[in-house]
Structure 1
Amino acid sequence: MIITCPACATRYTLADSAVGPQGRKVRCAQCGHMWWQAPEEDEPVFHPDEVTEFHPAPPPPPPKRASAAKTPAKAPADPGARRRALVGWGIFVALLAAIGAAGYFGRATAVRLWPPAALLYETVGLPVEPPGTGLQLQNVRSEQKTEDGKPVLVVDGQIVNVSEMARTVPPLRVTALGADRQPLKSWTVEPAPPQILPGEVATFRDVQPDAAGALAGVLEVMITFDGGH
């Protein structure tokens, strides 16, 4: 139940059992006024010796205001970080360009090292020239002789660039043929220099030992540009 001080109008909330069925004399803790408080719906019965003092309930705490969320301040842009990022992207693009250029201009070398690459180049519209394109063999000779008391087969010759652009000189495949043009032995020779300009000449010379006598029956020597097969 709620009771109100008749003098200062201070209100109190208390249970019905605190007043009792007969009522009770109470004192206002705010102003000290005393009065007889009867239970609700009942007539007051005065008992002068019984005084109950009630204290007002403390007022509820004021509602807390929600503090505005602080937005973290933006860190100032670091010009050095942006510069480093631009430099990094520049290096990345340059690497991609270099890889692409190496794949384009080094097609012949790539195919020589890995022949299936020719199909990949043709698929993307970059056909690969056969090994030795623009080059021509000349003054090729072979001779069986003895050097330092041992039989050897000497093969030498020249490679001329008959095209209008610089050409890479691929290795040469030398095949010694016997009777009925049957291969007796095959090996590769590296000419020098590895690249020649239009009109320039590269030379090669190879001395193949014949300790087992396998080259004694050589009737012909076939030299081709090696395609890696």
Structure 2
Amino acid sequence: MILECSQCGSRYDVPSSAIGPDGRTVRCVNCKHSWFQAPEAPASFQPAPEAVPAPPTVAEESAPPPPPIVDPVEAAPETPNYDPFIDPPPAPRRNRLPWTIAAIVATLSVLLGAAALLHWKAPGLAAQIGLNFGATETPLLFSEKNVELKTRVDGSRLFIVSGKVLNPTRTAQHVPDIRIRLMDGASREVYGWRITPATRTLDPQASMEFNGAKVDVPAEAKVARLSFASEIGE
């Protein structure tokens, strides 16, 4: 509000809050004149007239309401959640039992084939590696067996064994090694060795000769026994 001194005419711009609602005494700074200043009269307030809506026209009353706007994003059907880091389902496990059975059968076939090869084709090799399938059964027979003991010029003793192997059957037979065992007077074996036959197959009704000799056999050897040795390990 504006205050004016009645004595000197000085004018002052004072906020209404400094006078207060009840008024107060003020003094002019210029001439030192004092007077009571009444509060500023409040300005009259008249409320603005309320706006009255215009009545609707006939066309507006009969017109149907506009269709709702559909957001294509909101109207889209929901899609299932997809996580690119979800582990794929495990692959179905294959039944390996048939393969395992096939592998076992193949291994047994190889072992049986190797055993047959060692037994019929390579008895010496099997004996070297220490395999043993038991005694050999054969229809072959010994004949014209002969044992000699000779003393050589150098004084050593030479023990000689000879004879024949017969095949009395009508089919060809496999010929195993011939085993020589020297026994003492108490029927204990004191020495032994093998004689490899000249051929491994003997024709039907055929025979073959054999002979073998050893030097410096034990002096207690009294009897020589002949047999067909086991092809493997004996």
| TM-score of the aligned structures, taking structure 2 as reference length | 0.43
Structure with more of its chain in strand, by fraction: 1
Query: Greater Rg, structure 1 or structure 2?
Result: 2
